[in-house]
Amino acid sequence: MPTPDPAEGAAESAVPVDAPPPPETAGASPSAPDRPRRRRTDAWLSRWMAQVAELGRLRASHPMLDAEIDEQVGRRIRIGDRWLADFASSNYLGFDLDREIAASVPEYVATWGTQPGWARMLGSPVLYRRIEEAVAELVGTEDALVLPTTTLIHLSVIPLLAGDGAIFLDGRAHKTLYDGAMIARGHGASIQRFRHNDHEHLEDLLRASTVRPRLIAIDGVNSMTGNAPDVRELARLAREHEALLYLDDAHGFGVIGERGTDELCEWGKRGNGVVRHQGETYDSVVLVAGFSHAFSSMLSFIALPSGLKDALKVAAPPYLYSGPSPVASLATALVGLTVNDKRGDLNRYEAYRKTQRILDRLRELGVSTPNRSGFPLVQIPLARPEDLDPAGRYLFERGVYVTMAAYPLVPKDEVGFRIQVTAANGDDEVDLLCDVLGELDERFQLQHDRTRRPLLEEHRAGT
């Protein structure tokens, strides 16, 4: 869930806590002893609940929100008596259905039990070391530290890296990055938000700031638009301004990777993430990613220098106190890394091929999508945001399951739905989706370039 950037068309910032006050009203510096540690009132909760009221209404009534899924066969799911083609799954490589990976779990559970009984600081099965070594080799970093989720990493590591310094947060950073920054703010860091992917704005903020240390926090492949930032430019800014670039590549890891003459498609090969895909180094760059999407396993990692890893082992709460990941997750991650080496590029090609079919269909219809990358997250805004409920119901009735993109999950001018494409989606399912997109455009009107520009202007004017 990104936090909408007012510059991108949201009437208000859809975050539960006010953004940091502007300099003229900020009062004491972030490191001052008398700096308030929280807002003076709790009125933010009332505003936040008002923001999510429409989402709450949809959740209570819409069949594609908070759904109970009764059965799954391949990439088809059953909800009640209705079977649907699933285009909401983020298991991009289809590893959740891979027989070799699934068959490996019983042996690991027989050896290690269902879950390790120790916090990582007390002891870790050797599986952790093997995963960390394989991840470091894959992404090309000195070391890696495995923890259960990216959310835990953001909430614990961002405050440690920021200290009493400054966090420069992308205007559409994922909500968990924002939450990690807010925890850091409570410990003395300041937060400055720069317009989404606006390098000049970021550089202006960096030049104006005298605070150290500095952390630039941004998504890799964006979870809604499917686009990636210019990592090379961001890394250059980080190095020139003595900052650390902190990248959450949850949707890029496993999907895109290093380029090479033997690549099967323009997503690259090996799936080693956005940094390697853009040919950047890890100088002043920290990569965070998870196995929960492409590798279909509940596990995450931070790729980093060994010295920083040693520091986090005694300072990061998830390493010290959190319960460990289940053995099944460790097993599917470890075996998944092996399967990725053997045939991951074939799975990536399948996801790529099917994604291109869908994007070709949108171009044929003249439908606008923020997706410029060709990666397998395709957001489709509606021309009229108020059509979200009936358009979603039409998709459901036609047997297509997607991710509903309601406000405040996205800015108001981007309300619609998101398609996620996996290697396991069948060509017949893609055929169905392409047909239904045409029907949907006729009945409800998807956004076209001619309708998107006035909608953007309307929302930016606050009307």
Which pLDDT does position 41 carry in this prediction?
55
**Residue 78, SS3 per DSSP:** strand
Give the pLDDT confidence of 190-241 residue by residue, as tens digits.
Answer: 999 999 999 999 999 999 999 999 999 999 999 999 999 999 999 999 999 9
Determine the Cα–Cα distance for residues 352 and 317; give it in Å rounded to an integer.
38
- For tokens 């120790």, what's the residue? 118
Average pLDDT, stretch 75-86?
Answer: 97
Pairing of strands 190-194, 166-170: parallel
Which whole number is the average pLDDT over 439-462? 75
For residues 422-445, give the mean pLDDT.
Answer: 97
Confidence of residue 175 (pLDDT cuts 50, 70, 90): very high
Q: Map out the domains of the chain with their CATH numbers.
A: 6-29+39-95+344-460 (3.90.1150.10), 97-340 (3.40.640.10)
Write the CB contacts of 301 (distance below 8 Å, at least 6 apart in sequence). Answer: 131, 132, 135, 144, 145, 146, 147, 288, 289, 290, 291
User: Is the preceding peptide bond at 213 cis, omega within 30 degrees of 0?
Assistant: yes
pLDDT band at 19 (very low <50, low <70, confident <90, very high): very low
For the ranges 255-259, 266-270, 459-463, the lowest mean pLDDT is seen at 459-463
pLDDT tens for each residue of 125-163: 999 999 999 999 999 999 999 999 999 999 999 999 999
Query: Is the link from the previous residue into 6 a cis peptide, with omega within 30 of 0?
Result: no
Tell me the pTM. 0.88
Number of residues assigned to the chain: 463
Give the residue among 363, 415, 368 at the shortest CA–CA distance from 388: 415
Sign of CA dihedral 337, 341, 342, 345: positive
pLDDT tens-digit profile of 336-361? 999 999 999 999 999 999 999 999 99
- What are the strands, taking DSSP E only, across 300-408? 300-304, 377-381, 400-401, 403-405
- Give, in order, the Cα–Cα distances in Å from 44 to each of 185, 193, 311, 405: 16, 19, 35, 23
Q: How far apart are CA 119 and CA 115, in angstroms?
A: 11
In this predicted structure, what is the pLDDT of residue 452?
60
Q: Read off the pLDDT of residues 287-298 as tens digits, 9 standing for 90 and up.
A: 999 999 999 999
- The pLDDT, as a whole number, for residue 461 is 61
Separation of alpha carbons 404 and 418, rounded Å: 6
Q: Which two tokens stand for residue 257?
A: 């990777």
pLDDT the model gives residue 48: 83
State the chain's mean pLDDT as an integer: 90
Q: In the predicted model, what is the mean pLDDT of residues 427-432? A: 98
pLDDT of 12 reads 31
* Model pLDDT for residues 322-342, shown as the tens digit of each residue: 888 999 999 999 999 999 999
Residue 449 pLDDT grade (very low, low, confident, very high; cuts 50, 70, 90): confident
8 A C-beta contact, residue 371 and residue 359? yes
pLDDT of residue 50: 86
Cα end-to-end span (Å), the chain? 24
Asked whether residue 168 carries a pLDDT value surpassing 50, the answer given is: yes
pLDDT above 80: residue 33 = no
Query: Would you state the structure tokens that stand for residue 358, as one six-digit string?
Result: 């869908």
Give percent above pLDDT 90 in the chain: 81
